[in-house]
Structure 1
Amino acid sequence: MDIDIDKDVCIGAGQCVLAAPSVFTQDDDGFSTLLPGREDGGDPMVREAARACPVAAITVSETAS
Structure 2
Amino acid sequence: MPGMPNGKPAGKPCIQLLSDFSCAIFGDPSRPQVCEKFMPEEDICGKNKEEATTILAFLEDYTCTTNTKSP
TM-score, normalised to structure 1, is: 0.27
| Higher share of residues assigned strand | 1
Higher relative contact order (CA 8 A, sep 6+): 1
Report which of the two structures shows the higher radius of gyration computed on alpha carbons: 2
| Higher share of residues assigned helix | 2
TM-score, normalised to structure 2, is: 0.26
